[in-house]
């Protein structure tokens, strides 16, 4: 799936766009909204990006996992060289490697929980100014109808980009913004 990003000045305009997109056949759960006022989203029946959507915990946790794999191989190998001849050498090396993997993943998640999601990070300043971001998740055959609908009926929603719905540790910028809006 692919996500199309639309930036709106008004929640009324965004809510109207969501209604029209649902009439087009986009499921309600595939319309995610990032806003500085999640209570307003709840009152309007709009889907907030929620905890895992507005923080970078999953994305940064995956990055930590990648570093953890490298650290576990390095630390496991180093410990093996020291304790390889010991009868418990394999167990000790495996335990140290597992600890390194878990620690790096944990640190990645901790970094991510305090930072904006990598998809929302480019819109950090606009969200702080009160604008709202609509993330429309579409399959390839829905892209053209969604683009046509948004350009013809909802021009106030500015198409600002696209991203994959798949969480890849290689996607996004390494310079994340600390979370300041809610």
For the segment 84-106, what is each residue's pLDDT rounded down to a tens digit? 788 888 899 999 999 999 999 99
Predicted confidence at residue 166, as pLDDT, reads: 64
pLDDT confidence of 175, banded at 50, 70, 90?
A: low
109 with 51: CB under 8 angstroms? Answer: no
The 10s digit of each residue's pLDDT in 2-34 is 889 999 998 889 999 999 999 999 999 899 898
d(CA 124, CA 178): 9
> 40-54, 91-105, 106-120: which has the minimum mean pLDDT?
40-54
- 67: which 2 tokens? 């570093």
**Three-state DSSP class for residue 85:** coil
Tell me the percentage of the chain whose pLDDT exceeds 70: 88
| Most confident among 75-84, 101-110, 139-148 (mean pLDDT) | 101-110
Domain ranges within the chain, ordered by starting residue: 2-55+131-164, 57-113
User: What pairs with residue 90 in β-bridges?
Assistant: none
- CA dihedral of 58, 60, 64, 69, whole degrees rounded to 10: 60
Give CA separation, 122 vs 89, 90, 104, 128, 152, in Å: 48, 46, 26, 12, 26
In this prediction, residues 127-156 reach a mean pLDDT of 90
CB atoms within 10 A of CB 157: 24
């Amino acid at each position: 799936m692919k996500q199309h990003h639309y930036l709106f000045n008004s929640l009324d305009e965004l809510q109207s766009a969501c209604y029209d997109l649902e009439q087009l056949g986009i499921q309600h759960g595939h319309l995610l909204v990032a806003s500085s006022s999640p209570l307003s989203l709840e009152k309007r029946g709009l889907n907030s990006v929620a905890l895992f959507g507005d923080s970078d915990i999953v994305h940064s946790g995956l990055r930590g996992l990648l570093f953890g794999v490298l650290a576990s191989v390095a630390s496991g190998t180093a410990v093996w060289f020291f304790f390889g001849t010991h009868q418990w050498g394999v167990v000790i090396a495996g335990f140290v490697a597992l600890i390194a993997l878990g620690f790096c993943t944990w640190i990645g998640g901790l970094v991510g929980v305090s930072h904006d999601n990598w998809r929302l990070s480019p819109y950090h300043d606009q969200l702080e100014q009160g604008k709202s971001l609509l993330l429309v998740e579409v399959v390839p055959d829905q892209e053209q109808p969604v683009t046509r609908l948004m350009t013809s009926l909802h021009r106030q929603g500015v198409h600002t980009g696209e991203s994959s719905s798949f969480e890849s540790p290689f996607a996004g910028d390494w310079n994340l913004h600390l979370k300041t809006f809610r």
